[in-house]
Amino acid sequence: MRRFTILALAAACIFGMTSATSAHIGGLVFPIFEIPTGDLPDLRDGTLEDWEDVLPGTSLDHNSFAPLNVADGAGINPEDLAYRAFMSWHSAGQHLYMAIERVDDVYVNTYEGGDLTGLWRFDSIEFMVDGDHTGGSYNGAGIGEDLSDEERKLLTNFQGQQYVAIAESPDGRTLGYQGSGQGWVTLPPFADAGGFSVGESPNTSVIELQVTAWDELNWQGPELSRRSNLTAGRTIGFQISVPDFDTEAGEYHGFHTLSGQPNTWREADNFVDGELIPCDIGDCGSAPLPTAVAEDSWGRIKASFR
């Protein structure tokens, strides 16, 4: 892969700047750099060298995160858990890309396969997206009271998505999300992931993933859903959480989040902001794919419950 010129070279200074669009949390706007098709990372090549070759630098590391008071409440300590992450976006394919390298003193991944909504119980990465930057509740009680089971199932991860990925799985499925529709939402062409792990103490694991941001994600199929429109200069909401397990699955040792806020698994208002920075070679800036659902889709979907 080759390095390419970023149009807005000053974009690296976006850290610490406030955007005209109000942030979800705080005043930071994180740059997310566009990559042309010819330079997209190979999610299964067992290395992050392709990311290092084309991006201006590591997007984030453990010093960018804040620990939550969860279980042991382990703080930021690179001798316990160190990590670095890359982020990018692809205009032609309308995808967000992310990769993380974790160096962990104790690695817990006993996933047996078959339950993609349970990946959060292992050493992993959680990547949440609010593609239209509207915030609000997307899971849990906040999505509404007095809903039927069918309505609640539909609204869970409807306007924001929580993806969770692990490095390895016996059935080859390493990417899940916390909603229904795993049979298509977390598979190509909408999402994909790869990774590996090596060593014991410390263990090094790498997770690479590609996901779709959805303004309206109807678990019943893409033809009933509406993708977010990823274009240069747009601000999206996103959140990254890094759990750490040292004894057994589901027993938190530490939990680090980019926003430093709790309940990001259900409240998009607690996300941070990311600005989509363009590139200027290859097919950068290509027209986004058409969306599948009309603007009045949610009204039509709700009407179907009556």
Domains of the chain: 27-303 (2.60.40.1190)
Q: Tell me how far CA of residue 40 lies from CA of 96, 209, 222, in angstroms.
A: 11, 11, 24
Cα separation of 210 and 140, whole Å? 25
Report residue 15's pLDDT band, with 50, 70 and 90 as the boundaries: very low
Report residue 58's pLDDT band, with 50, 70 and 90 as the boundaries: confident
Percent of the chain residues topping a pLDDT of 70: 85
Closest residue by Cα to residue 83 from 266, 263, 254: 254
Question: Between β-strands 81-90 and 29-34, what pairing exists: parallel, antiparallel or unpaired?
Answer: parallel
Q: What is the mean pLDDT of residues 259-272?
A: 94
pLDDT top residue among 301 and 83: 83
Percent of the chain residues topping a pLDDT of 90: 78
291 Cα distance to chain centroid: 20
Report residue 276's pLDDT band, with 50, 70 and 90 as the boundaries: very high
Report residue 231's pLDDT band, with 50, 70 and 90 as the boundaries: very high
Average pLDDT, whole number, for the chain? Answer: 88
Cα separation of 116 and 219, whole Å? 15
* Backbone phi, psi, residue 165, to 5°: -135, 145
* Backbone phi, psi, residue 99, to 5°: -145, 145
Q: Tell me how far CA of residue 201 lies from CA of 100, 104, 107, 248, in angstroms.
A: 18, 7, 8, 15
Report whether pLDDT(16) > 70. Answer: no
Report whether pLDDT(21) > 50. Answer: no
Report whether pLDDT(120) > 50. Answer: yes
Q: Is the dihedral of CA 280, 283, 284, 286 positive or negative?
A: positive
Report whether pLDDT(116) > 50. Answer: yes
Note the pLDDT of residue 24. Answer: 67
Q: What is the mean pLDDT of residues 78-84?
A: 97
Cα separation of 78 and 105, whole Å? 9
Q: What is the mean pLDDT of residues 103-108?
A: 98
Q: Tell me how far CA of residue 80 lies from CA of 102, 201, 302, in angstroms.
A: 10, 10, 47
Number of H helices, E strands in the chain: 4, 15
